[in-house]
Amino acid sequence: MNRDRSYTPEDEYTPDEMMAVAASREISDGVVCFVGIGLPSEAANLARLTHAPGATLIYESGTVGAKPAVLPLSIGDGELAEHADSVVSVPEIFNYWLQAGRVDVGFLGAAQIDRYANLNSTVIGDDYGHPKVRLPGAGGAPEIAASAHEVIVMLRQSPRSFVGQLGFVTSVGHAAGGDSRQKLGYPGGGPGVVITDRGVLRPDPDTKELTLVALHPGVTLDKAKEATGWNLAVADDLQRTRPPTETELSVLRDLRRRTGARNG
Amino acid sequence: MKSAGITTLTEAVGELVKNGDEVALEGFTHLIPTAAAHEIIRQRKRDLTLVRMTPDLIYDQMIGSGCARKLVFSWGGNPGVGSLHRFREAVEKDYPHALEIEEHSHAGMANRYVAGASGLPFAVLRGYVGTDLPKVTRTIAPVTCPFTGERLMAVPALNPDVAIVHAQQADASGNVHLWGITGIQKEAVMSAKRAIVTVEEVVESFEPRPFGIVLPSVVVDAVCEVPKGAHPSYAHGYYNRDNAFYEAWDPVGRDRQRFSSWMQRYVHSTKDYAEYLDLIASEGQVRT
């Protein structure tokens, strides 16, 4: 590789691949991880196939210790049950696992996020009865947000998704900031990191306001700020995300290739 | 005590699903009772309150066909694909008519079924606090633990008039065996006043299966043998999820006219699910 040429990540990997890799690095070996479909599933399985072989992956359809050879297209694909340690009922997943505090890390996405990492996946628009856009709704998100010890949020960053005021609070992040989340009585720690296609944000330890702590390779600070619907807080020691390694990329792409081959 | 009779789906839906009923067709991605939903549409049932954690294509089809007055749910989308367009048009634009919604989280719905199956009036959970859901959903209310004083949320039991689920097998006595991802089906059946189960096949006797559950015939009113009755969902051990069908549904559901033509051609113009399956198979719309 010519070390002198200006760095263009577009040539080597996509923003989604950077997101999946960055999120996978947040998963330590041995954790119990509540996974969602799409990028979270890519990230969790990438972690399982690389540095976290001992992670227990749970999907809300009831599979505990899932080890899918290909990525599921829905949370209830048979592939998840086939190699799971156990398959339990939906009430058991939500009551015995999430609510009882047995989940270390949970993934969430959403249509919108605010500066305290509260999330909206319900409606866009002021009139709940006749919204501009009716989104799928809460699903398992409120319980993951409430009870997982830590939450990883994955969301592509734009002024439409990173908004000053949510149309609807579907799941609670850090509420109004400070200790307001604790006052709601939730045992889980809430969002510990937000991974976007621009960079990585973490809540300030005191105010809980999301703060940009790292930019992905090739992304300027201006590009991150432009994509945020509020005045984005930036860490004094703003980092640069380490680009995906060859191993991370090849394992992720193999996983995608196998998935594509299976689903035709 | 009831004991399940083995009957046809046409008869079961005709006798056990009444206009105005609260009806729960469950199946958490796996074993979705598509054949039963089509029969409800074919028989032009009206004014139903449809209950389901994850309304997907079959609820899109029933809502778009005008069967539903109200939807009680926690996540309404086409899994892995995107929106349910008939559901969205009903909520956003009252088309084909207004649809009342009662919206929960999965945890809330699961606990409502558990309370219903347990014969209790309500369930408690720790979620919902600080979200906007209690503002728009009357069936979420705060409650204080009488022992610790902890503030929790209560949700009322679900006791649908009819639950409908799909399973792999029944025996001649009407006992039902399902395995793989068994989701919320047991709770749905045991919370309901009446239950219809469609099965892939009626067998002599059951083999033990990992994580399998048996629903004894005493909790089931009607068992109907409907092979491939969960397509495009899947039946573990019988056939796989037809992901291409879920993707192909998106443009059909997106367009009012195309949707109506599709329902007319494939559901209303076929006499039963077997004829529907033959038709879509002959046109290459089905893949296993």
Instruction: Give the whole-angstrom CA distance, residue B198 versus residue A163.
Output: 46
B-contacting residues in A 167-226 (Cβ below 8 Å): 168-172, 175, 181, 184-187
Say if the Cβ atoms of B105 and A138 lie within 8 Å.
Answer: yes
Tell me the per-residue pLDDT of A118-158, one tens digit each, with 9 for 90 and over: 999 999 999 999 999 999 999 999 999 999 999 999 999 99
Instruction: Give the whole-angstrom CA distance, residue B108 versus residue A143.
Output: 9
Say if the Cβ atoms of A74 and B111 lie within 8 Å.
Answer: no
Of chain A, the percentage scoring pLDDT greater than 90 comes to 86
Which residues on B lie below 8 Å from A130 (Cβ)? 91-94
Apex A173 CA angle, A74 and A188, nearest 5: 85
With CA atoms as reference, the chain A residue closest to B110 would be: A91
Say if the Cβ atoms of A185 and B150 lie within 8 Å.
Answer: yes
B14 to chain A nearest CA, in Å? 30
Q: How far is CA A80 from the centre of its chain?
A: 19
B-contacting residues in A 77-136 (Cβ below 8 Å): 77-78, 80-81, 86-91, 94-95, 98-99, 122, 128-134, 136
Say if the Cβ atoms of A91 and B236 lie within 8 Å.
Answer: no
Q: Is the dihedral of CA B219, B228, B46, B84 positive or negative?
A: positive
Which residues on A lie below 8 Å from B151 (Cβ)? 185
Say if the Cβ atoms of A184 and B129 lie within 8 Å.
Answer: yes
Model ipTM value: 0.94
Nearest by CB to residue B75, choosing from A81, A95, A139, is A139
Instruction: Give the whole-angstrom CA distance, residue B254 versus residue B247.
Output: 12
Enumerate residues 6+ apart whose C-beta is below 8 A from B123.
Answer: B111, B112, B114, B115, B154, B155, B157
Q: Is B149 on the interface with A (CB under 8 A)?
A: no
**Maximum Cα–Cα distance across chain B:** 63
Tell me the per-residue pLDDT of A24-83, one tens digit each, with 9 for 90 and over: 999 999 999 999 888 999 999 999 999 999 999 999 999 999 999 999 888 888 888 888
Sheet holding B122-125, edge to edge: B122-125, B151-156, B141-144
Q: Is the pLDDT of residue A215 over 80?
A: yes
pLDDT in tens, chain B (288 residues): 466 789 999 999 999 999 999 999 999 999 999 999 999 999 999 999 999 999 999 999 999 999 999 999 999 999 989 999 999 999 999 999 999 999 999 999 999 999 999 999 999 999 999 999 999 999 999 999 999 999 999 999 999 999 999 999 999 999 999 999 999 999 999 999 999 999 999 999 999 998 899 999 999 999 999 999 999 999 999 999 998 999 999 999 999 999 999 999 999 999 999 999 999 999 987 765
B85 to chain A nearest CA, in Å? 10
Nearest-CA neighbor of B235 among B32, B7, B24?
Answer: B32
Task: Identify whether the C-beta of residue B164 lies closer than 8 Å to the C-beta of residue B196.
Answer: yes
A-contacting residues in B 205-264 (Cβ below 8 Å): 210-211, 234, 236, 240-241, 243-244, 246
pLDDT at A91: 97
A-contacting residues in B 173-212 (Cβ below 8 Å): 180-184, 186-187, 210-211
pLDDT at A132: 96
Helix H or strand E segment including B6:
strand B5-6
A92 to chain B nearest CA, in Å? 9
pLDDT at A7: 43
Q: Is A35 helix (H, G, I), strand (E, B) or coil?
A: strand
Task: Identify whether the C-beta of residue A157 lies closer than 8 Å to the C-beta of residue A166.
Answer: no
Task: Identify whether the C-beta of residue A262 lies closer than 8 Å to the C-beta of residue A236.
Answer: no
Mean pLDDT (whole number) for A187-202 = 96
Instruction: Give the whole-angstrom CA distance, residue A220 versus residue A217.
Output: 8
Say if the Cβ atoms of B183 and A62 lie within 8 Å.
Answer: yes
Q: In whole numbers, what is the pLDDT of chain A averaged over residues?
A: 93
Annotation says A150 is catalytic: no
pLDDT at B78: 95
With CA atoms as reference, the chain B residue closest to A72 would be: B80
B-contacting residues in A 37-56 (Cβ below 8 Å): 37
Enumerate residues 6+ apart whose C-beta is below 8 A from A233.
Answer: A115, A204, A209, A210, A211, A212
Q: Is A65 on the interface with B (CB under 8 A)?
A: no
Task: Kindly indicate the confidence band of residue A187, based on its pLDDT and cuts at 50, 70 and 90.
Answer: confident
Token representation of residue A123: 């409606």
Active-site choice (A60, A79, A143, A209): A60
Nearest by CB to residue A73, choosing from B107, B129, B243, is B243
Token representation of residue A191: 């969002």
Instruction: Give the whole-angstrom CA distance, residue B262 versus residue B137.
Output: 34
